[in-house]
Amino acid sequence: MEEVKNVGFGGATVGTEPFQFHPKDKLLIKAHIGFAFVALGVGALAGVLQTLQRTGVIDLPTSLGYYQLLTLHGVSLALVFTTFFIIGFLFSGVAKTAGGELSVRERMWGWIGFWLMLGGTLLALIAIGTNDASVLYTFYAPMQASPLFYTGLAGLVVGSWSSSVTIFSAFRRWRRAHPGESSPLFAYMAVATMILWDICTIGVALEVVVQLIPWSLGWVERVDVSLSRTLFWYFGHALVYFWLLPAYIYWYVNVPRLIKGKIFSNSLPRLTFILFILYSIPVGLHHQFNEPGVDSFWKFVQTVLTFFVVIPSFMTAFSILATFELAGRSQGGKGLFGWITKLPYKDVRFLAPFLGMLLFVPGGIGGIINASYQLNQVVHNTLWVTGHFHLTLGSSVVLTFFGISYMLIPVLTGRKLTRAVNYLGILQSFVWVIGMAFMSGGMHAVGLLGEPRRISYTTYGDAPITQAWLPYRQAIALGGGILFTAIILFLIIAIYLWLFAPKAEQVNEYPIGEVDADQQKPPYFLERWSIWIGVAVGLILFAYTAPFVQMFIHPAPGALPMRTW
């Protein structure tokens, strides 16, 4: 392996020579990122078609169903694109900071995970393609899909568990080689992300394997809908943080290097990620406020726990802003806000995630509204929720993934992010923001006017109320078209960087920030994963034991399968 040295308190392990990925690590990372882009293209095409149908702009051919496209859009983007991209990104940072490369065994687990996820995805896509799985990405029972769909998604989850072994193993190997030292911040955060993922996916795995697959095969006649949805939302809310945490890793660890600054704190980010593990899972019942079968007291308890998630979110905002201010002042920023002008807005690797940070503010406020028991009653079954979902995933997460791609692809391919491509990426990022403003803004507004979600285009027999929805529907259609244009532009740039951009004269740097020299070494208890996993399990048992016991003592009669499409 490459000779390495540790900089700061585990902020970065960097080579004494310009860092390059081992060719076998590079292949593993490129496989994940490349397939993620394929899923992005498929999901975006399905998304724009269903958006235009949903807003009355086009009529789909009879061979193509609205809910079929909606399922393809959700599965491709919310489950497949995100999972492959996140694991590829985490592999890159772990390989870089935990010794310079993955071991042979770690690569083996990574490839097992890749092929399981790929095989599972293809099975699910076959079922969607034959219109036997138009059950949306939430695959809500009693709508019943083909066994292929459920089996495929189970394969996707199991494959991701294998990938987590790679990350845990690399982290453990580094710890054994560096006793008494603080772990590299990137690797630490990657471990936290996969711990959260492994714990939360237990719920959806139980739902799919124990309930939905036997039911879809006809081995059992009925399905307990309350139990099914509770298991899904045990997973479903934490899924949002599985998307967010890699974006936070980029903000915390990679961006400081890009802005020529230092990581503000080595302890605060670690505590933040631990709090996300604790607070993001035992909160799923706030997605089920309007469903019977769950005691209101436990919905209230999980609502309170939901608001605890605000704490690590504010800690992240504080830490990132402090990093930005220190970087700006170190480069001559004067006065109260002079440091803001020193940030590198002309570097798309920074600008894209920065725009995502700005859009995350209204997204977070919308989340607080959704989690409020009374306000949720107003917006729950409306397009407001769809708009919030897109603003959260499509802004802070996707814009950061754009920035990561513009950083990572040149590192992997040895090609140059030219000035022209950099500016094209900036243009693409702004196009995305404009599209999201139209689409998500329109969804929020028309949701407040009462337009339902999870339904195809209708004027309800030309009811007068739908006339008020028309301008917002037009805004949603316009926004969807702009977002699709931005995705196409992004994929063109990605392909160019991957295959056609000029070769770089020097090795492209994989940016890893260093911790500010004034910061103290993080306390050792932050490295004790067994403690935090135990606390997380305790909170989950507290929040979910009574609702599940209630469902088993007073089980629902069960629902027969439905095919609504």
Residue 533 has which token pair? 């996993």
Q: Catalytic site residue 241?
A: yes
Provide the greatest CA pair distance for the chain: 72
Give residue 12's region: left, alpha or beta (phi > 0; psi -120 to 50): beta
Give residue 181's region: left, alpha or beta (phi > 0; psi -120 to 50): beta
The angle, 0 to 180 degrees and rounded to 10, between the axes of the packed helices 268-279 and 529-553 is 10
Q: Catalytic site residue 149?
A: no
Cβ neighbors of 364 (< 8 A, separation 6 or more) are 313, 392
Q: Catalytic site residue 67?
A: no
Residue of 114, 150, 234, 241 with catalytic role? 241
Kindly list the distances between the CA atom of residue 550 and the CA atoms of 140, 294, 302, 452, 475, in Å, as whole numbers in the listed order. Answer: 21, 8, 16, 31, 45
Residue of 178, 430, 453, 457 with catalytic role? 453
Residue of 32, 73, 349, 388 with catalytic role? 388
Residue of 389, 401, 472, 510 with catalytic role? 389
State the Rg of the chain over Cα: 23
Residue 5 burial class via C-beta count within 10 angstroms: exposed 0-12, middle 13-18, buried 19 and up:
exposed
Task: Count other C-beta atoms under 10 Å from residue 375's C-beta.
Answer: 12
Residue type, 113: G
Residue type, 351: L
Least Cα distance to 443 among 434, 433, 453 occurs for: 453
Phi, psi of 223 (to 5 degrees): -125, 140
Residue of 237, 287, 444, 473 with catalytic role? 237
Residue 440 has which token pair? 């998500």
Q: Look up residue 322 and give its DSSP letter.
A: H
Q: Under DSSP, is residue 503 helix (H, G, I), strand (E, B) or coil?
A: strand
- Alpha-carbon distance of 256 to 277, in angstroms, equals 24
DSSP string, 55-73: TTS----TTS-HHHHHHHH
Q: Where are the beta strands (DSSP E) in 160-260?
A: none
Residue of 286, 287, 390, 473 with catalytic role? 390
452 half-sphere exposure, CB direction, 13 A CA radius:
7
Separation of CA 384 from chain center: 20
Q: Are 208 and 231 in contact (CB under 8 A)?
A: no
Q: Catalytic site residue 563?
A: no
Identify the bridge partners of residue 559 per DSSP, sorted by sequence position.
223
- Alpha-carbon distance of 260 to 220, in angstroms, equals 60
- Alpha-carbon distance of 515 to 56, in angstroms, equals 53
Phi, psi of 472 (to 5 degrees): -75, -35
Q: Are 70 and 78 in contact (CB under 8 A)?
A: no
The sign of the torsion formed by the CA atoms of 511, 517, 520, 524 equals positive
- Alpha-carbon distance of 552 to 213, in angstroms, equals 20
Q: Catalytic site residue 172?
A: no
Give residue 260's region: left, alpha or beta (phi > 0; psi -120 to 50): left
Residues designated as active site: 237, 241, 388-390, 453-454
